[in-house]
Amino acid sequence: MAPQDTEKAACTPIPVYRRDFNRNAQLPYGVTVRHLYLAMSGFLDFLGFINGQLNNQGMPRLESMLMPANFSSIVGEFMISTIPQHCPRIVKNRYHNGHPDLIPAKRFPNDSVQHASSGIEVKESRYRRGWQGHNPENTWLMVFVFDSNRPQDTGTDTPRRPLRFLQVLGARLEEEDWQFSGRSTASRRTITATVKPSGYNKMVDNWLYQAPSL
């Protein structure tokens, strides 16, 4: 297949199917795996449309154009904005950089809170473990793991591949499920906390979605 043909084929993401969601998974605040299926399918439709238009103009796909962190942020923001469209019992936290990302509807004034222990923090990652946050938190954490090309693949022999979701994992984590990572006085690295094996195991035990290939 010619390079232009493989690039065009990669514009259409791999779909998700209901059969690959865990019907026995436990989710809070009325969220169900059906709501996740609808939100994820919506993102795949959105990305396929955008990439198709970009390809028609001879431009790279969105995931091949944006910095990896910026593209990952789009994945997360789409989920945060779309899940409440399917689940009216939860809303996007309207506080700028508020924690968590999704909060119970009508629990806080104007659906806005700087920090709360109730709600769902949403993360997105190309990695299947080692997820980070800014602080050890008592929070319900949901991680969308996906695979796609990156900008550094452009101009290389790296195969062109469509985006696909690999896993969605989620569970209630406690502070002891996080490993705080400090920094030296000379470092400019952002202070972070990493999910420990105890937290990872909780999330794997309550997996929400898993691609058949895994």
Share of the chain above pLDDT 70, in %: 92
| Residues in Cβ contact with 101 at an 8 Å cutoff, skipping those fewer than 6 apart | 76, 80, 92, 93, 119, 120, 121, 122
For residues 74-100, average pLDDT: 96
Predicted pLDDT at 155: 83
User: Which pLDDT band, with edges at 50, 70 and 90, does 190 fall under?
Assistant: low
Q: How far apart are CA 20 and CA 77, in angstroms?
A: 23
What are the extents of the domains in the chain?
3-14+25-127+139-149+160-170
Predicted pLDDT at 5: 83
Share of the chain above pLDDT 90, in %: 79
Helix (H) or strand (E) holding 175: none
Predicted pLDDT at 191: 65
User: Which pLDDT band, with edges at 50, 70 and 90, does 184 fall under?
Assistant: very low
Residue 86 has pLDDT above 80, yes or no: yes
Task: Please say whether the dihedral angle defined by the alpha carbons of residues 35, 37, 40 and 46, taken in this order, is positive or negative.
Answer: negative
Q: How far apart are CA 141 and CA 170, in angstroms?
A: 5
Predicted pLDDT at 161: 95
Q: How wide is the angle at C-alpha 83 spanned by C-alphas 81 and 88, nearest 5°?
A: 105
Q: Which of 33, 23, 29, 47 is closest to 146 using CA atoms?
A: 47
For residues 86-98, average pLDDT: 96
Q: How far apart are CA 11 and CA 50, in angstroms?
A: 9
User: Which pLDDT band, with edges at 50, 70 and 90, does 180 fall under?
Assistant: confident
User: Which pLDDT band, with edges at 50, 70 and 90, does 214 fall under?
Assistant: confident
What is this structure's pTM? 0.92
User: For 23-58, what is each residue's pLDDT tens digit?
Assistant: 999 999 999 999 999 999 999 999 999 999 999 999
User: Which pLDDT band, with edges at 50, 70 and 90, does 2 fall under?
Assistant: low
